[in-house]
């Protein structure tokens, strides 16, 4: 039976991040993607030009429509820009007793546009993180959520432990923004600490990496893998998606969610 994975996030008109990236990653990792749209962004590979938050009643109506008809095996959240959206989404997911929740605490776009209002960080910590199965901050998000500077492995571990205090069951501190020869992600759980190294790939085409990674993680969790194995599978997938990143647009191109289909397409142009 195909796992059904819901993404609750914003739209990227450039197609490389947000809802669009999530659905591609979910399908590429063996799931079926459903969506609840929270915000609309005018965005490309260079800039987020504008953003509009959908009314809460529309967000809630989408949530009801999805849960009323589908068996949801996992949920991931992305852009939840305001305190009211965070609180509404958290309430809806708690009411539906979602067990596999991956929270990607999206805060700032690659171009520097704030996707999470400053006053929404407290709501995220108080209302959403406490019942997340996994939280996936990058270095800067981990610093904001933990209150400490993250420069290496020891800092990542301490930041993860502090974020665990919110009540979530696991934290994956991503190492893409940490200066190192390799790109190492750090999984912190009450059971211990584990690192996931990968080659650092020199490329500009990394738009939507965090969205893609968290969506893949939610899918492997929906497929029944334990967190440690789900991280390994998702890490392998996103590394290859970055390695095959698409040089399109004039800024940071997107990862290639379906790189493994390119050779097949070349063999059969029809």
Which pLDDT tens digit goes with each residue over 22-56? 999 999 999 999 999 999 999 999 988 999 999 99
- At 116 the pLDDT is 72
Catalytic residue among 16, 166, 211, 255: 211
- The residue-averaged pLDDT of 202-211 equals 92
From the list 7, 41, 77, 206, the catalytic residue is 206
Q: Which CATH class for the 4-267 domain?
A: alpha beta
Distance, in Å, from the CA atom of 88 to the CA atom of 76, rounded to the nearest integer, reads 15
Cβ-Cβ contacts under 8 Å for 157 (sequence gap 6 or more): 186, 188, 193
Catalytic status, residue 211: yes
What CA–CA distances, in Å, run from 53 to 9, 69, 85?
Answer: 11, 25, 9
pLDDT of residue 266: 64
Predicted local confidence at residue 23, as pLDDT:
98
Asked about 183 being catalytic, the answer comes back as no
208 is catalytic: yes
Residue 174 among the catalytic residues: yes
pLDDT at 269 over 60: no
> Catalytic residue among 78, 160, 210, 245, which?
210
Instruction: State yes or no: pLDDT of 237 exceeds 70.
Output: yes
Residue 111 has pLDDT above 60, yes or no: no
Distance CA 226, CA 73 (A): 14
Residue 40: CA count within 13 A, CB half-sphere: 5
Average pLDDT over residues 97-115: 80
Q: Are strands 32-43 and 48-53 parallel, antiparallel or unpaired?
A: antiparallel
pLDDT at 265 over 90: no
- Summarised one tens digit per residue, pLDDT across range 150-160 is 988 899 999 99
**What is the percentage of the chain residues whose pLDDT exceeds 70?**
93
Nearest C-alpha neighbor of 213 from the set 147, 148, 138, 141: 138
- Residue 177 CB-half CA count within 13 A: 15
Chain segment 53-94, per-residue pLDDT in tens: 999 999 999 999 999 999 999 999 999 989 999 999 999 999
Kindly indicate the confidence band of residue 112, based on its pLDDT and cuts at 50, 70 and 90: low
Active-site residue, selected from the candidate residues 33, 160, 208, 253: 208
Percent of the chain exceeding pLDDT 90 equals 80
């Amino acid at each position: 039976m195909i796992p059904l994975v819901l993404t609750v996030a914003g739209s990227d008109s450039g197609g490389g991040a947000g809802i669009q990236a999530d659905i591609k990653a979910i399908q590429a990792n063996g799931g079926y993607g459903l969506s609840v749209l929270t915000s609309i962004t005018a965005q490309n590979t260079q800039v987020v030009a504008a953003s509009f938050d959908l009314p809460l009643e529309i967000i809630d109506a989408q949530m009801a429509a999805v849960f009323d008809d589908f068996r949801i095996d996992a949920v991931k959240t992305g852009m939840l820009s305001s305190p009211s959206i965070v609180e509404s989404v958290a309430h809806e997911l708690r009411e539906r007793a979602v067990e596999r929740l991956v929270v990607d605490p999206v805060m700032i776009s690659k171009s520097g546009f704030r996707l999470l209002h400053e006053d929404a960080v407290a709501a995220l910590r108080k209302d959403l993180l406490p019942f997340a199965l996994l939280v996936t901050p990058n270095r800067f998000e981990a610093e904001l959520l933990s209150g400490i500077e993250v420069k290496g492995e020891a800092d990542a571990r301490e930041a993860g432990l502090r974020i665990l205090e919110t009540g979530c069951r696991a934290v994956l501190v991503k190492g893409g923004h940490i200066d190192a020869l390799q790109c190492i992600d750090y999984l912190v759980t009450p059971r211990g600490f584990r690192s996931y190294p990968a080659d650092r790939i020199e490329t500009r085409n990394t738009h939507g990496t965090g969205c893609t990674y968290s969506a893949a993680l939610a899918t492997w969790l929906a497929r029944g893998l334990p967190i440690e194995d789900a991280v390994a599978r998702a890490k392998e997938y996103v590394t290859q998606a970055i390695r095959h990143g698409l040089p399109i647009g004039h800024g940071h191109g997107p990862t290639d969610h379906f790189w493994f289909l390119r050779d097949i397409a070349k063999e059969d142009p029809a």
